[in-house]
Structure 1
């Protein structure tokens, strides 16, 4: 198995192909792109990759961009050209807003049906546990992101900030990742998937989990960020099955 990975802010403007043992297989320089604060990756059915440069710890940024690159699987060299999908959050009026309104950091998104679903990371104080859900078209352009809903996590900021997201290959399951937490969303309608059936999982780890993707419809890969103590690991996790309700035969 192979996965694509990126580095956080201040590192190279590159993407890397690695295997599940952690061995680097290939490296591409992403042209027409700058790693201001790269946070997440997603892909579409054609294999195009999207790099989310939308980290915004202080809620001060106005220059959010998602870089769209063609499938690296067909590239022959070591450079790949990006298109820019630029966007802003029209609900944010101050940069930064007052502490209670700091909901515009972002580390999570996924692609579905020509749209990119962007989920914000709540940095409000006091912490509300509300992640905003936005959409933008998955084509080159400059957009005002459309607010389509919000997702309530919990009141404990240490485990309930959203750090990554993914959708299953069959489009039936959305997962949202936190620092040791996982939300599984099924039986949802779009665009506001928060109204679906939500299951919360305590993963039992407290490392800086920052990325999630699907291996198949029932299995996800998770990775954590390296610090001076731990991290830079890839984990596999099998999602719990859907609970079936037996008919009583009335």
Structure 2
């Protein structure tokens, strides 16, 4: 009898990439460890630190001082408070003013922390759990058609956590079973918990139809912060979480190019937000590029008094190519991309991550260095508004030096 066991054993030992013809690795050109040969993203991408700021910020009315969740629907932002208020509010995206107030009858707001949606329903998460002792965690489901008719039709999805066995009240903000973020997919709800002690987030799943369920823990991920909001842009395959550190330094946590509902299997990138002491708790987007985020009022007299606002962000530099905008990216042939040319005020320089940090200098045609500094980010901005119109040379790097012609209007 012919024996095939040794050959079969060797085949089983071969990596999956060899069997399928796929090469596993980091497929994101914006990453430090980008592998141009990789055809299958293995989730290993690493990135330089990045810091962003909003394009604009709009004040919110005092009625929304405790805004705690956000969606975009019918060209309006919709939000709610996390106090006893049982209304939801639609908000103008241009001025930040309240357009409609919709009361939800016969429900209680114990601690509404998040709002989400699918094509047919709006969902509100009443699952704030600062002491870790709640046994009445739930999500309200409201049909969109009933909201537009003015008579909201509400049912309930109740749940408990699969791995929670201790319901004795903890000290305030000392539990890993608080939650302020969830998304809705075709058939499921996915919760991203706010772990006060672990600084991680637990990803739990449960059905999205009315009933009482056990939310199953899928995995934990170390986000090194407190997750307070989420948005799922299904058409682009993008999840963005928002949160903040213990010292109220807010951030976005980008998840993209993942497999199915394994949201942490793809690219994971943290963007620090230059809004100190802003307790950002809501985030929304319809296209995966332009994002709205809200912060609730926060005060720590006499040092801090931050009013409630909507902030608008453009993440095209980080998600544009993945979302299909085809934004030019640096590569092995173009280590830096300079725009706009000609330039009037701000010069944008996008660089390969491995080129950062790099010294730069703007030199006039007589050889005089007019401006000098260091590029310390994949995307850097240089203010040239004070330069006289004319032609300049931009020099980047020391040992591996690059030169670019620059026209200043």
Fold shared per TM-score above 0.5: yes
Of structures 1 and 2, the one scoring higher in RCO (CA 8 A, sep 6+) is 2
CA distance in 2, matches of 1:98, 1:54: 16
* TM-score, with structure 1 as normaliser: 0.87
- CA gap of 1:175–1:96, structure 2 versus 1, over 3 A, is farther
| Equivalenced residues, count | 237
Q: Structure 1, residues 13-32: CA drift from partner, whole Å, max 9, x if none? A: 11111112122111111134
Which position in structure 1 is the counterpart of 2:161?
Answer: 89
Q: Show the 5 A alignment for 1:71-82.
A: 71=144, 75-77=148-150, 79-82=151-154
Answer yes or no: is the 8 Å Cα contact 1:32–1:83 preserved in 2.
Answer: no
Q: 1:112 to 1:171 in 2, by over 3 A?
A: farther
The DSSP-based 3-state class of the residue aligned with 1:194 is: coil
Counterpart secondary structure, 1:75 = helix
**TM-score (normalised: structure 2):** 0.54
Q: Residue 279 of structure 2 corresponds to which residue in structure 1?
A: 208
Q: How many Å apart are 1:231 and its aligned residue?
A: 2.8
Residue pair 1:176, 1:183 contacting (<8 A) in 2 also: yes
1:174 counterpart = 2:239: yes
1:149 has 2:222 as partner = no
Aligned-pair RMSD on alpha carbons?
Answer: 2.3
DSSP-derived class of the 1:66 partner: strand
Q: Which residue of 2 aligns with 1:43?
A: 117
Which blocks of at least 5 consecutive residues in structure 2 are unaligned? 1-74, 245-249, 300-304, 323-328, 334-409
1:164 lines up with 2:164 in the alignment: no
How has the CA–CA distance of structure 1 residues 32 and 114 changed in structure 2, closer, same or farther, with 3 Å as cutoff?
A: farther
Map 1:1-250 to 2 at 5 A.
1-10=75-84, 12-20=85-93, 21-46=95-120, 48-71=121-144, 75-77=148-150, 79-96=151-168, 102-124=175-197, 128-154=198-224, 160-179=225-244, 180-206=250-276, 207-228=278-299, 229-239=305-315, 240-241=318-319, 242=321
Kept in 2, the 8 Å contact 1:166–1:175? The answer is yes
CA distance in 2, matches of 1:195, 1:101: 28
The offset of 1:146, in angstroms, is 1.3
Deviation at 1:97, TM superposition (A): 7.3
CA gap of 1:72–1:208, structure 2 versus 1, over 3 A, is farther
How far apart are 1:195 and its partner, in Å? 2.0
CA contact under 8 A between 2:161 and 2:215: conserved in structure 1?
yes
Alpha-carbon distance change, 214 to 74 in structure 1, aligned in 2, over 3 angstroms: same
Distance in 1 between the 2:206 and 2:213 partners?
7
Secondary structure of the equivalent of 1:34?
A: coil
| CA gap 1:237/1:29 in 2 versus in 1, 3 angstroms | same
Q: How many Å separate the matches in 1 of 2:92 and 2:227? A: 25
Between the aligned partners of 1:67 and 1:74, the Cα distance in structure 2 is: 13
SS at match of 2:264: helix
The question of whether the paired residues in 1 share the 8 Å contact of 2:88 and 2:101 is answered with: yes
Provide closer, same or farther for how the CA distance between residues 216 and 14 of structure 1 changes in structure 2, counting only shifts above 3 A. Answer: same
Deviates more, 1:33-42 or 1:192-201: 192-201
Query: Which secondary structure does the structure 2 equivalent of 1:56 belong to?
Result: coil
Distance 1:72 1:7 in 2: 22
Q: Deviations over 1:20-62 (max 9, x none)?
A: 212211111113421000000100023x100000000111111
Q: What are the Cα deviations for residues 70-103 of structure 1, in whole angstroms up to 9, with x where unaligned?
A: 11686233x4121000000021111147789821
> Which deviates more from structure 2 when the two are superposed, residues 83-92 or residues 183-192?
183-192
